[in-house]
């Protein structure tokens, strides 16, 4: 059985060469290994956090679209129309894009079907209960809200 173990550590060395056979970069770190979960020279997948952005505004990555004027998302307005809102994305992690400029926390954004939309398009949020083509076995879909992370 494979068990995921997360250990905080400190990065002490980064090799500046990519290994041609594995496509990896060597990192050396220092960890408090009192439980004996790690052994010297062990290969691990590491996530390196360079900065933290407390209270960052995040949107699902699939919501961010590329257009001739840059990146944007479709925000759902109270009258169920959408508005093209430009965004400035600073980073992406785990399927979320951190936006520096764009939608506000609580805004509803479109994450599916954007290719069929333009600003002002009228939309209908589909759920298993109101989708006439669902046939009873469609999974529930919702419009996510912009949130702070």
In tens, the pLDDT along 20-50 reads 998 888 888 888 888 888 888 888 877 777 7
What residue segments make up the domains of the chain, in order of their start?
1-48, 57-148
- The rounded distance, in Å, linking the Cα atoms of 120 and 81 is 5
What is the CATH code for 57-148?
2.40.420.20
What span, in angstroms and rounded, lies between the C-alpha atoms of 103 and 99?
Answer: 8
For the stretch 39-91, pLDDT in tens is 888 888 777 777 777 888 899 999 999 999 999 999 999 999 999 999 999 88
């Amino acid at each position: 059985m494979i068990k995921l173990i997360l250990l905080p550590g400190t990065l002490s060395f980064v090799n500046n060469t990519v290994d041609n056979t594995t496509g990896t970069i060597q990192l050396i770190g220092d960890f408090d290994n009192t439980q004996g979960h790690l052994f010297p020279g062990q290969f691990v997948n590491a996530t390196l956090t360079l900065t933290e952005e407390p209270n960052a505004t995040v949107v699902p990555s699939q919501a961010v679209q590329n257009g001739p004027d840059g990146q944007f998302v479709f925000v759902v307005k109270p009258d169920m129309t959408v508005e093209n809102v430009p965004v400035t994305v600073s980073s992406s992690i785990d399927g979320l894009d951190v936006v520096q400029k764009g939608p506000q926390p609580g805004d509803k954004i479109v994450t599916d079907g954007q290719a069929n939309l333009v600003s002002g398009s009228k939309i209908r949020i589909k759920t298993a209960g109101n989708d006439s083509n669902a046939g009873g076995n469609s999974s529930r879909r919702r419009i996510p809200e912009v949130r702070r992370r």
